[in-house]
Amino acid sequence: MTRHKNSKKVIRKEIYVVAVMFSLIFVAMAVYLGHFVAIDSRDFIYNSYNSRFSVFADDVKRGSIYTADGHVIAKTATDDENKEYRDYPDERLFSHAVGYVGKGMAGLEANYSFDLLKSHISLDEQINNTLSGIKNPGDSLYTTFDYEAQKAAYEGLNMFDGAVIAIEPETGKVVAMVSKPDYDPNTIAKYWDDITDDTKNNSALLNRAIAGAYPPGSTFKIITTIAYLRDNNGNDDFEYNCKGSITVDDYKIHCSSKKSHGNENMLQAFSNSCNSAYAYMGINLDRQAFSSAADNLLFNKDLPAALGNTKQSKFYIDTDTPESIVAQTAIGQGQTTVSPLHMCMLVAAIANNGELMEPYMADKLVSEEGDIVSETAPKSYGRIISDSEARLLNQYMEAVVMDGTADSVDFGDLSVYGKTGTAEYSTNKNMTHSWFVGYAKDSSGKKLAIAVIMEGAGYGSKYAAPLAAKVFNAYFDK
């Protein structure tokens, strides 16, 4: 009897041990799965070379991507054989902004792949769908893009290579972003070899708006002006008598169209875009002050922007730099390169009284049932330009449009503040990029900053500034 009792106890103990072991294994598996879903799967899906993201797409139909004003710009469609594919209704219009799925992933499609393949509809609906064999609808991504502004930027660039980027100064929301040459995300896989053919040398996959490296031309006079103000305790009591050219160390710099601008103060030198005055200003600047002004204005730094792989702008001057190079640097020639995004961020900061808001283009994730799953809050980088510097630059940039290099451009009823640029990029001085950077303000005080570059187009006032006017009008005329 006692023996029997004992053996029963032993069996009970063994069952207990096995049960505990199974429980532990179960807990370990649950923890691992939880960890995989929460962390590892994000890395797994974020890898754009991962062709197996469809593991998740088995249960969830990839969500759509919208503009801020509700135009669908990417969606999941099904073909005649009931096979899913990604559809981009506007073809090339948003190619660099939204990216693609099809040959790996890029752009917002890559960065938000995990979120587009998550469903936040109610649990009841999810269970109903699963039992009925229907996929759950993934969350949708609402971007910050304005459909009409994007279209105006795209059509305005026309056949030119180049880029347009427009940002709301108070928030950092990217309203338009176009880069050409471009590609049709619908057929990216089919034409992949052609698009990536190096011998054609057109870099269609490169987003020039954020990763282009261009000579800034006269748009750089904004930076030289700020360096001058910082080197002179904020005073703009600059004077110069322009004779149409200046010679520095045997290197002759001409004013545009070899025009003599005569006696100028700072505002006139800026609005006339006088090369002689700015070359003179540059060589008389303390080099350390010039260099640190550029650093403080985000040169040689990663830009604070949630837009993907941006390119650092380059600026370099030291005590050994020949004077003729300093003179060229002051007017935006020489070794300096900038991205259109960087120039747009600088004018956005000027428009926002010196405070820089970090650019972003993913506004919110919304479930199929219309609930907001997550939303991006505007983020301040802090002040990069002082209040008084911003005030002076506003006056100078207004003079450019009122009676300076952009006075022939029709901006309609908007108040516009800007700087044109005509940047040489070849030893042939007739080959120039056309630049416009600046911002517009409507009667309600709403603002939009922009940077436009048209490669090889010529004068900024003739090409880039009228394109900016089209984007401003498309954005504000609603």
Positions in the binding site for Zn ion (CB under 5 A): 242, 255, 261, 274, 276
Distances (CA, A) of 210 to 62, 165, 174, 214, 450: 27, 8, 12, 11, 13
Choice between 143 and 432, CB closer to Zn ion: 432
Q: Using CA atoms, how far apart are residues 360 and 158, in angstroms rounded to an integer? A: 25
Distances (CA, A) of 415 to 146, 217, 382, 410: 20, 24, 26, 11
DSSP annotation string for 12-66:
HHHHHHHHHHHHHHHHHHHHHHHHIIIIIHHHHHH-TT-TTTHHHHTTEEPPPEE
Choice between 269 and 326, CB closer to Zn ion: 269
CA triple 178-378-358, angle to 5 deg: 55
Q: Hey, which residues does 432 pair with through a beta bridge? A: 424
Strands (E), 405-462: 415-424, 432-441, 447-454
> Is 289 in contact with 227 (CB distance < 8 Å)?
yes
Minimal distance, residue 220 CB to Zn ion, in Å: 16
Minimal distance, residue 404 CB to Zn ion, in Å: 12
Choice between 98 and 255, CB closer to Zn ion: 255
Minimal distance, residue 457 CB to Zn ion, in Å: 23
Minimal distance, residue 246 CB to Zn ion, in Å: 8
Choice between 187 and 256, CB closer to Zn ion: 256
Task: Select from 476, 471, 477 the least CA-distant residue to 152.
Answer: 471
Choice between 9 and 254, CB closer to Zn ion: 254
Minimal distance, residue 265 CB to Zn ion, in Å: 13
Distances (CA, A) of 337 to 123, 333, 342, 367, 424: 53, 9, 10, 42, 12
Choice between 275 and 313, CB closer to Zn ion: 275
Task: Select from 132, 28, 94, 45 the least CA-distant residue to 361.
Answer: 94
Minimal distance, residue 421 CB to Zn ion, in Å: 15
Choice between 261 and 419, CB closer to Zn ion: 261
Choice between 276 and 422, CB closer to Zn ion: 276
Minimal distance, residue 238 CB to Zn ion, in Å: 13
Q: What is the DSSP letter of 426?
A: S
Choice between 151 and 261, CB closer to Zn ion: 261
Choice between 257 and 443, CB closer to Zn ion: 257
Minimal distance, residue 275 CB to Zn ion, in Å: 6
Distances (CA, A) of 206 to 54, 96, 97, 99, 201: 26, 8, 11, 11, 11
Minimal distance, residue 407 CB to Zn ion, in Å: 16
Q: Using CA atoms, how far apart are residues 70 and 451, in angstroms rounded to an integer? A: 25
Minimal distance, residue 255 CB to Zn ion, in Å: 3
Q: Using CA atoms, how far apart are residues 407 and 395, in angstroms rounded to an integer? A: 14
Q: Which amino acid is at 200?
A: K
Choice between 269 and 454, CB closer to Zn ion: 269
Q: Which residues contact 381 (CB under 8 A, 6 or more apart)?
A: 304, 355, 356, 357, 358
CA triple 127-129-131, angle to 5 deg: 70
Minimal distance, residue 242 CB to Zn ion, in Å: 3
Choice between 118 and 261, CB closer to Zn ion: 261
> Is 399 in contact with 431 (CB distance < 8 Å)?
no
Minimal distance, residue 254 CB to Zn ion, in Å: 9
> Is 242 in contact with 270 (CB distance < 8 Å)?
no
Burial (Cβ within 10 Å: 0-12, 13-18, ≥19) of residue 145: buried
Q: Which residues contact 391 (CB under 8 A, 6 or more apart)?
A: none
